[in-house]
Structure 1
Amino acid sequence: MSSKAIASQTGRTWLILGATSPIARAFARHVAEAGGRVLLAGRDTQELARIAGDLTIRGAPEVLALPFDAADMGSHAGFASAVKEAAPAGSLDIYLGFGVMPEQTDMEADPALALSCIAGNYSGAVSVLLHLAPHLEAGHQGRVVVVGSVAGDRGRLKNHIYGSAKAGLATFAAGLRNRLNRSGVTVTTVKPGFLDTGMTWGLPGIFLAAAPEDAARAMLKAALKGKEVVYVPFFWELIMLIIKSVPEKIFKKLAI
C-alpha cells in the first residue's frame, strides 16, 4: 500500500529497534517514504546495511545503522548514548519491534530457553526504553510504538511463556505512557494478531494472517494519531474480547 495518507515525517528521526524483522522493515519503509530519517538497530549489521540502501532509494534523507542486541542489557547505556548523538532531543521517535517466540514445548523442557524468551521480549525492551526515556522527556515531544501481541491478553496452554512476556511488556508500556505523557510524548501499544512472517510460517492454527506492509502502515498511522492501545488487524480486538470472556474453569480445559 502507498504511504500517501501518512503525515510527513520530515524533521523526525525514527529509531527502529529490531530492524531486520519483516514488520520492522515495512514500518521503516513507510517512514522513509514519508521523508523521515531512520536509525536502524539490530544484530545483523550486514543486513542493516542492505535495508539502509533500500530506505535511501525510497526517500529517507538519512539512514544510519547501529548495532543493538536486546539481550545484551549491559550494552544499552552505550547504545542510548549513540542514539542521543544521532537524534537531537525533540526529534526522536521509537519503534520497538523485536521479539522471539521459541516453541512452548521446547521452553518447558529447557527453562534457560524460557528465560531467553523473556529477555528477548520483555527484559531487553524494558532496559532499552528506560535508557532512552530521559532523552524523550528532554525533547518534550515524540512517539513510541511498542509492539506486543494478542498472546499477552490471556495465558494459553500452547504459548503462555511467550504470552507472559508480552503481557509484562504491555503493562510496562502502560506505565511508561503515563510517565512520558507528562513530557508530551505518546506511547502506543500495538497488539498484532497473526502476521504473515517467518515467525508464524508453518505453525498450526494460523488464520487471517496480515501482510507486514498493511500491519506496519496501521501501526504508524495509529502512533501519529496518538492512539494508546490498538489491535492489528482491528478485528483482533473482538476476537480477544471473546477469548478473555471465557470463564477460567472452561478455558483451562481448552487445548489452545
Structure 2
Amino acid sequence: MVLGASSSIARAFALEAAAQGDDVLLAGRDTADLERGAADIRIRHDVQVEVIDFDAEVVDSHDAFVDAVTTRAAGFGDKPLNVFLAFGLMPDQSAIDADPDQAQRAIMATYAGAVSVLHRLAPILEARKSGHVVVLGSVAGDRGRIKNYVYGSAKAGLHAYLQGLRNRLFRSGVTVTTVKPGFIDTTMTWGMPGLFLVASPRDCARACLRYAKKGAEIRYFPSFWWVIMTIIKNIPEPIFKRLSI
C-alpha cells in the first residue's frame, strides 16, 4: 500500500514494487490520477492494482479508510501488508512566517496525518504478524534550521513516533524503516535555491524498497547525507544560530 501515491517518489516506488511481482494498493486524494497510474502499472507488470481515496489532512475519514483497506486487502489473499508512506507538505518558511495557519497545515499533513493513519493500521499489521512499513522522513528533521524549521519540526516528530512504532511492531514481526532523504528532484523541491547533489525519485524509490526488504531501521538517502547531518547536528548552538542554513 502506497500512501500519498501521487508523489513522484511514490509513483516510482509503486512501479518498482510491481516490477518485483507485488500487488499494489494506491491511496491518495486525486483518485482520477491514481487510476491512470494503476492502469500503467497493470500494463507494465501484470499485477493486481487497486485505488482507494485517502486524505492525510482529514483525520475524521481515517477510520473509514482503514475499514476500506481491510476489505481491499482481503482481496489480495494472505500476502503481507507492506506500507509505504510518502506524503508531506513543505510550504516555504517565509510563507509560513507571513501566514501562521500554514504552519498548522504543514504539521497536519506531514506529522499528525501520518500518526493518525499509521496508528490505525498498526493493529492490522500486528494481526498479520508480517510486513514492512517504510516512511519518508527527511534530513530536515535532524535539526531545526532557519530555512524550514516548521517542516523540520514535523519530520522530527515523525521520526520520534516511528522509533516507538518500530519497537511496538517488532514484537509482531513487522519492520519499520525511516528513510531520511536529502534533496530529491520532486515538485516539493522544484525551484528551491541552493540545492546540490540532487537525487532522482526513481533512485530514492529503489533504495526505499531495498531498505524494506532488508528490514533496515534508519537510513539516509543518498547515504552521504549521514555524514552531512552528523556535522550539522554537532555544530554548537551559539555558532549554529548565526548560520543561514
Same fold (TM over 0.5): yes
Greater displacement, 132-141 / 58-67: 58-67
Matches within 5 A, 1:26-37: 26-37=12-23
Q: Which runs of 5+ in 1 are unaligned?
A: 1-14
Residue of structure 2 in register with 1:11 after alignment: none
Residue 58 of structure 1 and its aligned partner are, at CA, apart by: 2.2
Aligned length: 242
The question of 1:246 aligning with 2:224 is answered no
Structure 2 counterpart of 1:40, from 2, 15, 26: 26
Maintained 8 Å contact 1:27/1:213: yes
Q: Secondary structure of 1:87's partner?
A: helix
Greater displacement, 51-60 / 207-216: 51-60
The question of 1:149 aligning with 2:135 is answered no
RMSD of aligned C-alpha atoms? 0.9
- Using structure 2 for the length normalisation, give the TM-score: 0.97
Residue of structure 1 in register with 2:67 after alignment: 81
Maintained 8 Å contact 1:56/1:63: yes
The question of 1:138 aligning with 2:127 is answered yes
Q: Within 2, Cα distance between the matches of 1:135 and 1:60?
A: 27
**Structure 1 residues 165-212: Cα deviation after superposition (integer angstroms, max 9, x where no partner):** 000000001100000000000000000000011111110110011001
What's the % identity of the aligned pairs? 58
What is the identity, as a one-letter code, of the residue corresponding to 2:32?
A: Q
Q: Within 1, Cα distance between the matches of 2:12 and 2:234?
A: 33
- Using structure 1 for the length normalisation, give the TM-score: 0.93
Residue of structure 2 in register with 1:7 after alignment: none
The question of 1:167 aligning with 2:156 is answered yes
**Structure 1 residues 190-241: Cα deviation after superposition (integer angstroms, max 9, x where no partner):** 0000001111111011001100111100010011100000001111011101
Maintained 8 Å contact 1:148/1:170: yes
Residue 60 of structure 1 and its aligned partner are, at CA, apart by: 4.5
Q: Which runs of 5+ in 2 are unaligned?
A: none
The question of 1:197 aligning with 2:186 is answered yes
Change in CA separation of 1:60 and 1:144 when aligned onto 2, cut-off 3 Å: farther
Residue of structure 1 in register with 2:112 after alignment: 123
Residue of structure 2 in register with 1:5 after alignment: none
Change in CA separation of 1:51 and 1:251 when aligned onto 2, cut-off 3 Å: same
Maintained 8 Å contact 1:35/1:61: yes
